[in-house]
């Protein structure tokens, strides 16, 4: 592997390291460089669904609380939660959410799921995450959306406290594409407004994009703008670039997925002009057949079509459990497929931080945290054979 790329990777996002030994000292043998290890990045995930990211142990625990019947064997439970290899479409993929939603119908399980996820993200090395879910899906046992959101914030605070606030995380409230749920969606926007800045950072629109097109939701997002609620919209995943164009027209600050625009130069130019980041989810996009040209493996994922054009993009999981992945694994898959360099990985982490639903001071703080973490790893790299190498770090 190219040693320069390995050195850049170990230093992480936003930084470059150059090292030299003193001319008067006999050079030490070339150190053995570590392989590509994305876990050394200051990782982020801006596109992460709560109900698609329950761990197996969480599911067992929460099913017992909610009285949901599940198989006794762990492998059989896993089949309920993880997308099958023969997934044919987004609609097929969404079936994996049926069981998790049943397990999240009380304040206790909602709070537990958020707290557990935050702690797992921290253990994976993330410094920031935006966790999204749809409050209207958790009303089956009599909770109101207000109670659901309050429980999720309770879980968020508990998770952050358990990590000694070593990770920053916020919640995005999803409206749902569907029939006869306009008032439920409006209520979700009101909840986003009520709890904005108290753990909630934005709203979203999720669900079956091809069945319920973005054109149906103009009034919903006019309402969000009226209330001052920032939002992202899932678009360009199961529908084409026109869905993305509408999302931008409505005022979306980011677009979830947007993968259908990879070969549309006009849309890419618009994304650059408006500085709208696409939260790409490679494994999920392959599983849902979101790339209409029949792309079936990671080596053909059109990441470079965006990066080479200068479109702001970042890498995310979408659903850690349904897609059986982590952010570090997503980066690793892209690198192993030969379509990602370490320099580009750094760029995308910067993109994520700069397009997070944070104020400018918070973004700067997060960038500094990332820099501090990467300096720590660069110091580990430059120390070899007990010889101190001179190291300079550039942002």
167, 129 contact by CB (below 8 A): yes
- Distance, in Å, from the CA atom of 8 to the CA atom of 340, rounded to the nearest integer, reads 13
- Distance, in Å, from the CA atom of 303 to the CA atom of 262, rounded to the nearest integer, reads 8
The residues pairing with 68 across neighbouring beta strands, listed in sequence order, are none
79 Cβ partners below 8 Å, 6+ apart?
Answer: none
Burial of 253-276, coded b for 16+ CB within 10 Å and e otherwise, reads: bbbbbbbbbbebeebbebbeeeeb
Q: Which of 101, 139, 197, 126 is nearest to 366 (CA)?
A: 126
Q: Which of 187, 237, 330, 371 is catalytic?
A: 237
List C-alpha distances in Å: 324 to 84, 85, 224.
Answer: 10, 11, 33
List C-alpha distances in Å: 378 to 31, 40, 350.
Answer: 13, 10, 18
- Distance, in Å, from the CA atom of 280 to the CA atom of 46, rounded to the nearest integer, reads 9
H or E, element range at 173:
strand 168-176
- Distance, in Å, from the CA atom of 75 to the CA atom of 157, rounded to the nearest integer, reads 32
- Distance, in Å, from the CA atom of 68 to the CA atom of 54, rounded to the nearest integer, reads 15
Bridge-based pairing of strands 126-133 and 43-49 is parallel
237 is a catalytic site residue: yes
31, 386 contact by CB (below 8 A): no
206 Cβ partners below 8 Å, 6+ apart?
Answer: 49, 132, 134, 174, 175, 176, 177, 234, 256
DSSP helix/strand/coil, 311: coil
- Distance, in Å, from the CA atom of 211 to the CA atom of 238, rounded to the nearest integer, reads 9
Catalytic sites, residue numbers: 237
């Amino acid at each position: 592997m190219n040693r320069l790329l390995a050195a850049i990777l170990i230093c992480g996002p936003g930084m470059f390291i150059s090292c030299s030994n003193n001319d008067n000292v006999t050079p030490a043998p070339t150190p053995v460089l570590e392989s590509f290890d994305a876990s050394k990045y200051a990782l982020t995930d801006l596109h992460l669904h709560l109900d698609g990211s329950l761990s197996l142990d969480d599911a067992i625990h929460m099913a017992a609380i909610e009285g949901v019947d599940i198989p006794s064997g762990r492998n059989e439970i896993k089949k309920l939660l993880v997308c099958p290899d023969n997934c044919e479409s987004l609609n097929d993929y969404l079936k994996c959410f049926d069981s998790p939603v049943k397990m999240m119908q009380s304040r206790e399980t909602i709070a537990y799921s958020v707290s557990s996820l935050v702690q797992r993200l921290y253990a994976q090395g993330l410094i920031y995450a935006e966790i999204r879910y749809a409050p209207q899906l958790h009303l089956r046992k009599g909770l109101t959306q207000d109670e659901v959101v309050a429980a999720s914030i309770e879980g968020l605070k508990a998770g952050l406290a358990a990590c000694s606030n070593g990770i920053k995380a916020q919640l995005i409230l999803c409206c749902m594409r569907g029939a006869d749920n306009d008032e439920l969606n409006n209520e979700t926007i009101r909840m986003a407004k009520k709890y904005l800045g108290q753990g909630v950072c934005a709203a979203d629109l999720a669900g079956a994009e091809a069945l319920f097109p973005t054109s149906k939701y103009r009034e919903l997002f006019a309402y969000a703008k009226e209330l001052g609620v920032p939002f992202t919209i899932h678009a360009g995943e199961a529908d084409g670039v026109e869905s993305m164009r509408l999302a931008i027209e409505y005022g979306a600050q980011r677009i979830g997925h947007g993968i259908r625009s990879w070969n549309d130069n006009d849309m890419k130019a618009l994304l650059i002009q408006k500085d709208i980041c696409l939260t790409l989810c490679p494994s999920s996009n392959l599983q849902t057949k979101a790339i209409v040209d029949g792309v079936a493996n990671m080596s053909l994922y059109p990441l470079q079509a965006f990066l080479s054009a200068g479109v702001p993009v970042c890498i995310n999981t979408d659903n850690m459990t349904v897609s059986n992945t982590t952010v570090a694994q997503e980066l690793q898959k892209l690198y192993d497929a030969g379509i990602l360099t370490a320099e580009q990985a750094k760029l995308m982490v910067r993109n994520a931080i700069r397009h997070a639903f944070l104020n400018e001071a918070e973004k700067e703080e997060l960038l500094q945290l990332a820099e501090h973490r990467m300096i720590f790893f660069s110091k580990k790299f430059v120390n070899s054979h007990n010889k101190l190498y001179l190291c300079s770090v550039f942002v």
